[in-house]
Amino acid sequence: MDSLPPAPVTAKGRVRSGVCRLSHAVVPGGLPRMSDSDAALVARTLGGDLEAYAALMTRYRDAFGRYAFHMLGNREDAQEALQDSFVRAYRALGSCREPERFGAWLFRIVVNRCRTVRRRILRHRRFDGDLTEDVPSKGARPDAFEWRDEIARALERLRPHYREAFLLRYVEELDYGEMARLTGVKEPALRMRVKRAGDQLRDLLRDVHAG
């Protein structure tokens, strides 16, 4: 493995303080296996093993890619957000204080990255002169859309923080405590967002579904 980039820097003070479990992790040798723990793969990555990081990416790509796809509404933006998240996470890996919870740490980066990409999308739409609805109204020709497309369109009509809460709760199946840690939003507010998102989605989809 030549021309390796510098390994991510371990957070200052972690080893000295003894808080970081990486400081006494047993790191297996050989090729990474999917059965290796997140902590083991993080340790190997910090030691300069990019194959270990590739294994981490493979482990989380599908779940987080699905979230990004539904959050952003298209594959290209979702893949960009996920790829950016992987690169950012690698560079910041030394600050991952609980490597055994690498997935949760990475997901937070993905959620934030999706928010940023979403804002960029909004910017482009505004600048392209679309100052009205982001999505055509459902009265256009609802019967012309497949069920899956209609779900995507309904999701797109939700306010981003409603959509985010709904996806985290029902698609990624997080509990409200996990959602609060991930988003920095308090549980009552998240419950309200999920409730409103559900109400709005139900209203948007009911006619299509009945038809």
Partner 1 sequence: MPADHDDETRDDTLRQAIAELRRPVALDPALEGRALARIRAGAPTHRIGSRRGLLWLGGALAAGIALALLVRPPTGSPARPGPTLATAGTQPTRAVLIRLAAPASSRVTVVGDFNDWDPAATPLRPVGDSGTWTVELHLKPGRYHYTFLIDGRRWASDPSGAPAAESDFGAPMSVLTVG
Residues of the shown chain interacting with partner 1 in the complex, contacts defined by CB under 8 A: 3-5, 50, 53-54, 57-58, 61-62, 65-66, 69-70, 75-76, 78-80, 82-84, 86-88, 90-91, 119-120, 122-129, 131, 147-148, 151, 154-155, 159-160, 167, 169-171, 173-176, 191, 194-195, 198, 201-202, 205-206, 209
DSSP codes joined into one string, 18-77: T--GGGGPPPP-SS--TTS-HHHHHHHHHTT-HHHHHHHHHHHHHHHHHHHHHHHSSHHH
Shorter beta-carbon distance to partner 1: residue 21 or 66 = 66
DSSP codes joined into one string, 77-145: HHHHHHHHHHHHHHHTGGG-S-GGGHHHHHHHHHHHHHHHHHHHHHHHHHHTT--S-SS--TTS-GGGS
CB of 96 to partner 1, least distance (A): 16
Shorter beta-carbon distance to partner 1: residue 21 or 156 = 156
Shorter beta-carbon distance to partner 1: residue 30 or 62 = 62
CB of 208 to partner 1, least distance (A): 9
Shorter beta-carbon distance to partner 1: residue 4 or 26 = 4
Residue 13: left if φ>0, alpha if ψ -120 to 50, beta else—which one?
A: left
Residue 48: left if φ>0, alpha if ψ -120 to 50, beta else—which one?
A: left
* Tokens encoding 78: 């979702």
Shorter beta-carbon distance to partner 1: residue 21 or 138 = 138
Cβ atoms within 10 Å, residue 146: 9
CB of 197 to partner 1, least distance (A): 8
CB of 24 to partner 1, least distance (A): 27
Shorter beta-carbon distance to partner 1: residue 21 or 103 = 103
Contact between 78 and 69 under an 8 Å Cβ cutoff? The reply is: yes
CB of 79 to partner 1, least distance (A): 6
How far apart are alpha carbons 27 and 22 in whole angstroms?
Answer: 9
CB of 17 to partner 1, least distance (A): 25
